Amino acid sequence: MAPRHFLTLGDFSPAELRAVIDNAIALKAAHRAGREPPTMAGRVLGMIFEKSSTRTRVSFESGMAQMGGSAIFLSPADTQLGRGEPIEDTARVLSRMVDIIMVRTYAHAKLEAFAAHSRVPVINALTDDFHPCQVLADIQTFVEHRGAIAGRSVAWIGDGNNMCQSYIEAAGLFDFELRIACPRGYEPDAGLLATAGARVQLGHAPAAAVAGADLVVTDVFTSMGQEAEQQQRAAAFAGFLVDHELFARAAADALFMHCLPAHRGEEVSAELLEDPRHSVVWDEAENRLHSQKALMRFLLDGH
């Protein structure tokens, strides 16, 4: 039987995603109480990183260790991937040796090719198009601070990038309204927007998107792989800084999230990022650990 993969949020049903979030919250409590069963004993996670990472690497590696398993970090610099071994061959070989694999790469199609040739579950740890693991952690964080996200409104301010596109998918799966404000020319994929329907609205005015929102989210203006566009992007994104002035338009108890790393003074002001009344970015980062543990358990054990 073909294994289940987690390449986008849409690979799971709404009920499955809710179960992963519930399990993440339970695993977090068990971890803090020091009573965590070694459910991954003897199991190995392979981790392919073709882009840099702090949170993703440490959360997957620590998570596997906390559940009694282990993880192997693989980068192109010191594997045959960097010397041109096809991704399909790498998938076939690795998946005969490890139990589950996460991949951070550029083209989403490369991840899909990898998964198509893997005997074991494959997790998207960020591609140019999607970052579903981060959005799982974001939803967990919202639920912990404010309760269910269904029926709430979320404002995405900035680039129509991988994070934005996973939020578009999340809006349908978790049943919330998403208002996107991005500069012209930096919109998310039109096909994805078309399938999202009326629940997701695209505009170009941050103030309108933030008005009354329960959650305001932003991300860097220049993602990994776009470094050559940095100057042009800095000019295009003028006016998209999320600061206290913009945030004041959101609901009174609105939360601020950012997947990190953040560039203070570019997409978010240092004051808002550090304001514990609104910003939950440190909880959001920590929840990568708990939500991915729940995700790996779901993929390997079905619950």
- 290 interacts with ligand CP by CB under 6 A: no
From 11, 159, 219, 290, active-site residue? 219
By CB under 6 A, what part of segment 142-161 binds ligand NVA?
161
CB 43, min distance to ligand NVA, A: 26
Burial class (CB in 10 A: 0-12, 13-18, 19+), 301: exposed
Asked about 11 being catalytic, the answer comes back as: no
Q: Are 237 and 275 in contact (CB under 8 A)?
A: no
Which residue is closest to ligand CP by CB?
56
Distance CA 2, CA 121 (A): 9
Omega of the bond leading into 121 within 30 degrees of 0 (cis)? no
Distance CA 288, CA 45 (A): 16
* Residue 219 binding result from ligand CP, ligand NVA, none, given CB thresholds of 5 to 8 Å by partner type: ligand NVA
Q: Are 149 and 167 in contact (CB under 8 A)?
A: no
String of contacts with ligand CP for each residue 40-79, x by CB under 6 A: -------------xxxx-----------------------
Asked about 258 being catalytic, the answer comes back as: no
Distance CA 102, CA 61 (A): 11
- 226 interacts with ligand CP by CB under 6 A: no
- 105 interacts with ligand NVA by CB under 6 A: no
- 134 interacts with ligand CP by CB under 6 A: yes
Q: Are 185 and 125 in contact (CB under 8 A)?
A: no
By CB under 6 A, what part of segment 113-132 binds ligand NVA?
126, 131
Kind and range of the H or E run holding 46: strand 44-49
Residues in binding contact with ligand CP, number by CB under 6 A? 8
Q: In the complex, which residues of this chain contact ligand NVA (CB under 6 A)?
A: 126, 131, 161-163, 219-220, 223-224, 259
